[in-house]
Structure 1
Amino acid sequence: MLISNHFSPNKTREAITITPSRDLTVEDFEQVVLKGATVEISPESLKDVEASYDFLCEFAKHKVIYGVNTGFGPMAQYRVEDNCVKDLQYNLIRSHAAGTGEKIDDRSVKAAMLVRLSAISKGYSGIHPSTILLLKDMINKDIIPVIPRHGGVGASGDLVQLSHLALAMIGEGKVSFKGEIRNTADVFREEGLKPIEVKTREGLSLINGTSVMTGIGAINALKSRQLLEWCICSSAMMNEIVGAFDDYFSKELNGVKKHHGQMYIADEMSRVLRSSKLIARREEHFYNGNGHQQEKEFDRKVQEYYSLRCVTQILGPVYEAIENAIRIVENEVNSVSDNPVIDYKNRNVFHGGNFHGDYISLEMDKLKLAVTRMSMLSERQLAFLFNPNLNKLLPPFINFGTLGLNLGMQGIQFTATSTTAENQMLSNSMYVHSIPTNNDNQDIVSMGTNSALIAKTVIDNAYQVQAIHMLALVQAIDYLQIADKLSDSTRHTYKAIRSIVPVFVEDKPKYEELALICDYIYNNRFE
């Protein structure tokens, strides 16, 4: 069961314009990367880029500036002769285009390209404006450099991965274009594009930043927020199936816990379930004076299992983690991650380490923990549905057939359990696994791109678990014949899933239908 990563461009969408006064948001990434909107560069941004370039050309004369007339990393102590400075930039790109492994998916690379375009359009890179314009054209034409997964340590940024982007921009390497992997030079020729010519420090500026980890992080944050919406939906359905009490998500109960996220989830659960005919009021069962206090054992559960009763407490911190990730990612998207920073307004060049990816690395570690928690909640709710000793409502594995002869959803549960276990293992921190490299010049690194890529795997896995959960939910709803009593919101979801997978009695392979459900929830939001 794979997450679809193909583009469905819609070039009629309004263009996203990069300006000095407007910050990009994760919603902009959704429009450009997932929905095919184009990107434009404002005249003000181009003016800043040109001013930065002109300043560096003049300022660099008779001065030593890292990466302009020096070597790189621990070789920065070596002066590069004036007649070799352009060769220096080409050498940097070609030598560092050294990634291995499967290619990063096109969506993630396009997101990385948008981050890099944002960073170098701010006028702090000292590069020629033609570099900005080519990158913009590549984004708009969906010419996506082939970037291998392995290589970046996240300090000096995403050097290796971004070198593959830069390699395409000098007309070399491979790109993904219209569903095919092709030579960059051939695609440029067909599309009327010219490779960049190095003028000052185009090579270093293109590869020296946090753009890959941040681009992946932007899509990760978007899809995590969307997954949370589906997790709220499935948790609401779970409470409907068992006829749970409404005080679990009441304002009065949750309001005495001083966490914004918990109240947000409580409000969302209340909103989703407002029109449900299945949610019970405790006053009508245990507070009505009908003699329950005399019973030794109650037929009706006084409180549900934690995976149903504690949804607001479990998903509250998840919501806050996702929202914080969005804030951090947006800050990084709109930052300058070059080194050195070419500050034409203050007429100076500042050396430092804005390329360090700690913010994104730590946030992606936290995000994957939150997403793994969602997959764990889905898996526990799924186990409840499949076990008649727990739910006391449904046959084993929601089996509509002959028990013993038919197996229902028994096999599906193994997949959910296995995938959740993988998420738990992948949730170990990448951020704290720094390994010194680059002759100890990079003696503490962020591993940000690894963190972002692993977080993406966790998110994709969680969607797969959620798809299995959705199939079990609609099967349970049909077994209990309660579809007409669902809330307006959950009934809409029920119908959508049932349009993909009809009620089933006989055993048959489910992997194709699960893939369709997964694709549906990945590409649609729960409203």
Structure 2
Amino acid sequence: MLHIKNALNFESFFHVLFQDSKIELDELVMERISQSFDFLKEFSENKIIYGVNTGFGPMAQYRIKDKDRKQLQYNLIRSHASGMGKPMEPLYVKALMLARLNTLALGKSGIHPSAVLIMQELINKNITPVIYEHGGVGASGDLVQLAHLALVLIGEGEVFYKGKRRNTSEVFSEENILPIKVELREGLALMNGTSAMTGIGIVNVIYAQRLLNWSIFCSAAINEIVEAYDDHLSEELNSSKLHVGQQKVAAKMRDHLKDSQLTRDRNEHLYSGKNPEKDYFKEKVQEYYSLRCVPQVLGPVYDTIDYTRNILIEEVNSANDNPIIDVTRQQVYHGGNFHGDYVALEMDKLKLVITKLSMLAERQLNYLLNNKLNNILPPFVNLGKLGLNFGMQGAQFSAVSTSAENQMLSTSMYIHSIPNNNDNQDIVSMGTNAANTTKTVINNAFEVLAVEVVTIIQALRHLEFNGKLSSKTKLKVEIFKEIIPEIKEDFPLSATLEAVKDYIKENDAYRVGS
């Protein structure tokens, strides 16, 4: 059980999203929310408060009569539940709900307490609103996506429950859930924030971290396959450059390879003074960049993931709607905390580095498949009859085409503002688009790494290193051999590649027990 009292951290999201931990709102949280609601109700009686007794956006100049205030909130929710495209996957919707719940729990939104209680219940029972990917421009918050959340909270719309898409009213009836009580600004408070882009972004970061670890794993294993010199991973070399990410990646690879009998010490070979060649060295003095420069390539990936994680946690623990209700100062502040530029920029940065990670994997894959480069493996790591069989030749096309798609998708959304809403929203973040595109890039990268993993297993089967592999490589090789059959006779590889992709997406390369 996750007890929500103050700020959530990244581990809290992981436990709820990936380990199905239940949540419980602390009494202090409910007290904050109630105080905020009570204060706003009294404060707004003789004042003009945006979204309480005014219209919305460019229609804020219109005053709303007291008798129409509640209807105003229902109208806002229903009119903006206009998303299109594919429904968001339940995991990402759950992240969205937890992000929104946490923001409302700060007590700066003036929302009725019933809203957070029902959200707590939906999260704990894995009832996820049907929310569409397309619609939000990420400036007056994720209005469209969050409107679909609000639609469910008032007992309308649709939800996914126990694997089925159903009417909200039916599920609420079965589970004895009462819709929220609309009083002051429940529609606006639910919709006016960055919780869709932030929730998606948090899941993106979790998967990006797994991708990074699998890329480090593959890079280390390939260093074993080619019996590379180990000084490019040395602490001495990598500490001479001051970037934390580079040093961390190199350290992880050293730890992975610490008991390998395959990587070599340059002192025992090229520095031994026993090199009879006078004009030409058959053996490579240095490896290709995709093997030798892994800390320098993946270092920025490490640093970007780390920085993005911090920005997202700052955002999710911030009041990001409008106006902001300040009970302590007895004031209501109008502004633009709903603007998603912080998240949009981080999603663009994240998809850039994940695209680079997929490019590194594709180049490492190419090295393994091209016998003229590696000089130790058959063409396309073909364990069958050359000419008659094809090995990994067909799978390489999938990896190359997917890498190319990632390169195209890495165009920035952060700078693609389009004015809308009668030019009230004249500069927007496109943060939800950025988060969804990053989600696609991450999923694509898992596909590229799946091809690389299968090829590594093929290569290790061919080389038969007989116990010389590092223990970390050996552990995962045994798991993958259960998933990946030996590829001698040709057969369709799609199912095998998909199974490997599923495994690496749902398991971390370096987490105990995975």
Per the normalisation by structure 2, the TM-score is 0.98
Distance in 1 of aligned mates of 2:245 and 2:264: 24
Give the aligned partner of residue 80 of structure 1: 64
Alignment of 1:78-477 (within 5 A): 78-292=62-276, 294-477=277-460
Distance in 2 of aligned mates of 1:295 and 1:323: 48
Give the aligned partner of residue 2 of structure 2: 16
Which stretch of structure 1 is more off in the superposition, 363-372 or 483-492? 483-492
How many residues are matched? 510
Residues 388-428 of structure 1 show CA distances to partners (whole Å, capped at 9, x for unaligned) of 11000111100011111101110000000000000000001
Distance in 1 of aligned mates of 2:479 and 2:444: 21
The code of the aligned residue for 2:213 comes to E
Q: Secondary structure at the match of 2:133?
A: strand
Residues 479-525 of structure 1 show CA distances to partners (whole Å, capped at 9, x for unaligned) of 01125211111111111111111222100011111111111111111
Structure 1 unmatched ranges of 5 or more: 1-14
Distance in 2 of aligned mates of 1:484 and 1:438: 65
Q: Secondary structure at the match of 1:181?
A: strand
Which stretch of structure 1 is more off in the superposition, 30-39 or 301-310? 30-39
Residues 254-304 of structure 1 show CA distances to partners (whole Å, capped at 9, x for unaligned) of 111111111111111100000101000001111111134x52111211001
Distance in 2 of aligned mates of 1:311 and 1:124: 46
The code of the aligned residue for 2:5 comes to T
Q: Which runs of 4+ in 1 moved over 3 A?
A: none
Q: Is the CA contact 1:251–1:267 (under 8 Å) kept in the aligned structure 2?
A: yes
> How much has 1:213 moved relative to structure 2?
0.2
Distance in 1 of aligned mates of 2:403 and 2:201: 21
Q: Secondary structure at the match of 1:61?
A: helix
> How much has 1:323 moved relative to structure 2?
0.4
Distance in 2 of aligned mates of 1:364 and 1:492: 33
User: Which of 64, 67, 73 is residue 51 of structure 2 equivalent to?
Assistant: 67
Which stretch of structure 1 is more off in the superposition, 60-69 or 282-291? 282-291
Give the aligned partner of residue 34 of structure 2: 50
> How much has 1:452 moved relative to structure 2?
0.2
Per the normalisation by structure 1, the TM-score is 0.96
Distance in 2 of aligned mates of 1:158 and 1:29: 20
Give the aligned partner of residue 12 of structure 1: none
> How much has 1:115 moved relative to structure 2?
0.2
Q: Percent identity?
A: 54
> How much has 1:25 moved relative to structure 2?
1.9
> How much has 1:26 moved relative to structure 2?
2.1
Structure 2 unmatched ranges of 5 or more: none
Q: Secondary structure at the match of 1:437?
A: coil
Q: Is the CA contact 1:93–1:166 (under 8 Å) kept in the aligned structure 2?
A: yes
Q: Is the CA contact 1:406–1:507 (under 8 Å) kept in the aligned structure 2?
A: yes
Q: Is the CA contact 1:483–1:491 (under 8 Å) kept in the aligned structure 2?
A: no
2:503 maps to 1:517: no
Q: Secondary structure at the match of 2:237?
A: helix
Distance in 2 of aligned mates of 1:495 and 1:379: 23
